[in-house]
Amino acid sequence: MGKATTTTRTPPFCQSKFLCLSLLYLFTALFLAFYHKVSPNNCLFRSSPFDPIQSPLFHYPPSYGEHKYAITTHRNSCSSPVMFSGYREVAEELHNLCKNSSAFVPDLKYLQGKRDTFGGNFSFKERISYFNDTKNDINVPCGFLKEFPVGDSDRIAMESCNGVVVASAIFNDHDKIRQPVGLGSKTLEITCFFVFIDDITLQGLYYHKLIPQSSPDYKVGVWRIVKVFSDELYGNPAMNGVIPKYLVHRLFPNSKFSIWIDAKLQLTVDPLLLIHSLVVSKNADMAISKHPYYVHTMEEAMATARWRKWSDINSLTRQMETYCENGLQPWTIDKHPYTTGFTLINPDRLASHTCPWWCIDLERTWTEKQSLLVPLFNELEAFNPRDQLGFAFVRDKMNPKLKLNMFEVEVFEKIVVEYRHNLKKIGDNRAGSVRVGPKRTKRASHGHFFLNESRCQNYLLTMWGESHS
């Protein structure tokens, strides 16, 4: 008898090619929809240039609310306006750069002595005489004419930072401490994070039990907390924050690169990748963001006056009149490669026009870049801590010129998340505290900059395209 043959029957639903393709399409669509839902940036298969991402660096108590009130953006989060090299190659390159200390030799000598204020409060004639630092035998005023009041252990830690330093500051409990995300596995080996605070902010950290009151050295995640005895400095908390913002090369004399980040920002890209992409690969001394709204310094000055961002309007007017009288001009095509009259660190971000956004600032902590930040710090002490206002004047007058990489606002929004400032101080929740209602904002009148006898009249007419000269 012959053998019985058995045949394997194909399931009926697999015999239809159309049905198979439909099922494949259905399952693929469901997978992509699920991935899109759970992806933190809502992007499909977007590779991160700064992998590996480490586990959470710190666990905050729910009462702190470190991620409340983020400012949303309407830009495409899946397309990247900035390109990053491979993390391992970047980490190795920067590690070798930081080891080669001979390439980082400061070329400025600083004025020593004692004055009534930390910066010396020099006259305009004295300040402008230091804008040209081609003579290496001149001792330049650069703050520290009073002691910077921090503890000895903090000072030693600051001087021991010999690679990349990321610095920030919170005075008057104005912001929250936020951990960076996307750090690579080698980053903390050559990068130190420092945040400067005053006693009011320190009490808030105690209140939320972020740090123990028994320890003389404080740390929250990657951030080392440095308490500044601000009563010995300036009465204005914003001016005290200017010191670590502009004089980071004095506070961290052995660091090779620095990143300043306003405390209302959370860093979302590894700092080594940022330094490499925005400074090293561009052969720049400093990288700062363009202002998101303004091109001209006077636009920022008028907004500052109108919205009372600085209460002394007469002093603000005197500042701009002084700059106009001594040659401040609106931005024009002749000012390339500077794309605006601003620079970087805000109203709350970065900027790169004649008017910048000083919220985030990346730089080499050596050579020519100091010759911009040093005189700019002196201008801030002389007038006010609104750092966009003096930038274009100092930048255009100083010699030698800086190599500035002024990047687009889209880059700023890609590398940080911006949050609103604290609206309610910690003390408002305590028993017996008295909360003072907000003051009504008084806007400045147009007359502050529109008078016929104003020294800024030609500036304004040129800015508005109405000059006939």
Q: Return d(Cα 212, Cα 205) in angstroms, integer.
A: 9
Confirm whether 329 is domain-assigned.
no
Confirm whether 52 is domain-assigned.
no
Q: Which domain holds residue 182?
A: 104-294+350-421
Confirm whether 7 is domain-assigned.
no
The average pLDDT across 166-189 equals: 93
pLDDT value at residue 465: 74
Give yes or no for residue 268 having a pLDDT over 60: yes
By DSSP bridging, strand 164-170 and strand 191-197 are parallel
pLDDT value at residue 370: 57
Give yes or no for residue 5 having a pLDDT over 60: no
Residue 343 — pLDDT band, cuts 50, 70, 90?
very low
What 8-state DSSP symbol labels residue 354? B
By DSSP bridging, strand 265-267 and strand 164-170 are unpaired
Is 208 buried (19+), middle (13-18) or exposed (0-12) by CB count in 10 A?
middle
- Give the CA angle between residues 316, 322, 325 to the nearest 5°: 140
Torsion of CA 125, 130, 134, 137, to 10 degrees: 110
Q: Which residue has the higher pLDDT, 122 or 463?
A: 122
Give yes or no for residue 50 having a pLDDT over 50: no
Give yes or no for residue 430 having a pLDDT over 70: no
Q: Which two tokens stand for residue 180?
A: 């960076």
Confirm whether 51 is domain-assigned.
no
In angstroms, how far is CA 266 from the centroid of its own chain?
10
Residue 349 — pLDDT band, cuts 50, 70, 90?
very low
Residue 197 — pLDDT band, cuts 50, 70, 90?
very high
The total number of structural domains in the chain stands at: 1
Q: Return d(Cα 188, Cα 55) in angstroms, integer.
A: 13
For residue range 30-43, what is the model confidence (pLDDT) as tens digits?
Answer: 877 776 565 555 55
Residue 99 — pLDDT band, cuts 50, 70, 90?
confident
Confirm whether 117 is domain-assigned.
yes
> What CATH code is carried by the domain that includes residue 415?
3.90.550
Q: Return d(Cα 116, Cα 122) in angstroms, integer.
A: 11
Contact 391, 355 (CB under 8 A): yes
pLDDT value at residue 379: 95
pLDDT value at residue 158: 97
Asked, as a colleague might, if the bond just before 385 is cis with ω within 30 of 0, I would say no
Q: Return d(Cα 258, Cα 164) in angstroms, integer.
A: 6
Residue 214 — pLDDT band, cuts 50, 70, 90?
confident
Confirm whether 228 is domain-assigned.
yes
Confirm whether 310 is domain-assigned.
no
The lowest-confidence range among 190-194, 319-323, 463-467 is 463-467
Confirm whether 322 is domain-assigned.
no
